[in-house]
């Protein structure tokens, strides 16, 4: 029931159902679609990696993640990093990835705080913004967006904030009640660390939306806003792009809705059992991102 509730917005097609009943997930994991025909990974030119739960958990790298990303680059793949987490700036995420042995450039990293900055510049230019985490505040400032951390703000950007306190919630609540635009970086209900699952940005967003009655504009996965920015900036073709994520309800749902190939890794949030409950069918199910180059090699060879 829990899984069914989480996946209430997902749709299982007849073709996907046939796939489960005829061949099952293991066959898909080996690289076959529901008719037993090998997927052509010759078409994959771009790989988008979700970060938390895929490349690292908390302060620990997923073993083999850095090597896998490097090998895919060597094969000529374009690599991108895409996170719903707005707690850090793009530059800080580059440093974080590098510290885990994953080489990344700033223009390859897409965060929901960057997406929020693009949204505000386009739709709410010059408005004074209240944002939760220091990373989001810094990212917005970097784009010349005025910050006002009081109840008089004209825009509220809610996201994961590890230094959340009641005063921040109260200011954001009052700002929204006075008519401020309400933006949520994401609504992930959980946040994976080394040996535990912690409450995610969704806890803060839900606190504000349930108390104000206002529904936020959502920047991150599964909504396509941030993905569309990336696709436009790098001129990507969706049919040549693989999304690698650990969460069915965001990474895989967005890939499915937007026509991207998808690979679910089991090193983060979602489990194999939840795939069955959800009815979402990722093209690949892998224990870890470290397996990805091997799968692609198999397809190419």
Q: What is the contact surface with Mg ion in residues (CB under 5 A)? A: 50, 52-53, 246, 268
Tokens of 237: 């073709």
Residue 51: CB minimum distance to Mg ion, A = 6
- Give me the residue whose beta carbon is nearest to Mg ion: 53
Please identify, using beta-carbon distances, which residue of 19 and 280 lies nearer to Mg ion: 280
From the CB of 214, what's the least distance to Mg ion, in Å? Answer: 27
Q: Where are the alpha helices (DSSP H) in the chain?
A: 2-6, 14-22, 24-29, 65-74, 90-99, 112-123, 134-142, 166-177, 201-212, 225-234, 253-258, 272-278, 292-300
What minimum distance in Å lies between the beta carbon of 245 and Mg ion?
Answer: 6
- Do the bridges between strand 196-199 and strand 190-193 make them parallel or antiparallel, or are there none, so unpaired? antiparallel
CA–CA dist 38, 229 (Å, integer) = 31
Task: Identify which of residues 50 and 258 has a Cβ nearer to Mg ion in the complex.
Answer: 50
Classified as helix, coil or strand, 97 is: helix
Shortest approach of Mg ion to residue 191 CB, angstroms?
A: 9
| Closest to Mg ion by CB, 222 or 268 | 268
We find the least distance from the C-beta atom of residue 275 to Mg ion, in angstroms, to be 15
Q: For residues 171 and 283, which CB has a smaller minimum distance to Mg ion in the complex? A: 283
How far is Cα 300 from Cα 276, in angstroms, rounded to an integer?
Answer: 29
């Amino acid at each position: 029931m829990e899984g069914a509730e989480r996946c209430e917005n997902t749709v299982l097609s007849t073709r996907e159902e046939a796939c489960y009943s005829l061949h099952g997930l293991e066959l898909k994991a080996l690289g076959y679609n529901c008719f037993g025909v090998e997927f052509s990974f010759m078409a994959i030119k771009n790989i988008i990696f979700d970060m938390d739960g895929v490349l690292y958990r908390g302060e620990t790298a997923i073993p083999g993640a850095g090597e896998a990303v490097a090998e895919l680059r060597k094969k000529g793949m374009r690599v991108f990093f895409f996170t719903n987490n707005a707690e850090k700036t793009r530059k800080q995420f580059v440093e974080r990835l590098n510290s885990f042995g994953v080489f990344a450039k700033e223009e390859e990293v897409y965060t929901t705080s960057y997406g929020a900055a693009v949204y505000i510049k386009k739709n709410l230019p010059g408005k004074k913004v209240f944002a939760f985490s220091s990373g989001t505040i810094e990212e917005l400032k970097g784009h010349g967006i005025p910050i006002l951390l009081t109840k008089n703000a004209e825009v509220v950007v809610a996201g994961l904030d590890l230094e959340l306190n009641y005063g921040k919630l109260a200011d954001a609540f009052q700002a929204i009640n006075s008519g401020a635009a309400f933006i949520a970086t994401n609504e992930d209900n959980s946040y994976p660390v080394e040996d535990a699952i912690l409450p995610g940005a969704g806890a803060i967003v839900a606190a504000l939306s349930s108390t104000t009655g206002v529904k936020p504009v959502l920047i991150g996965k599964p909504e396509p806003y941030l993905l569309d920015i990336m696709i436009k900036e790098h001129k990507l073709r969706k049919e040549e792009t693989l999304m690698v994520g650990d969460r069915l309800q965001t990474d895989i749902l967005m890939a499915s809705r937007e026509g991207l190939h998808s690979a679910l890794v089991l090193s983060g949030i979602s489990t194999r059992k939840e795939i069955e409950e959800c009815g979402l069918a990722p093209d690949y199910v892998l224990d870890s991102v470290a397996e990805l180059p091997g799968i692609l090699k198999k397809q190419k060879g």
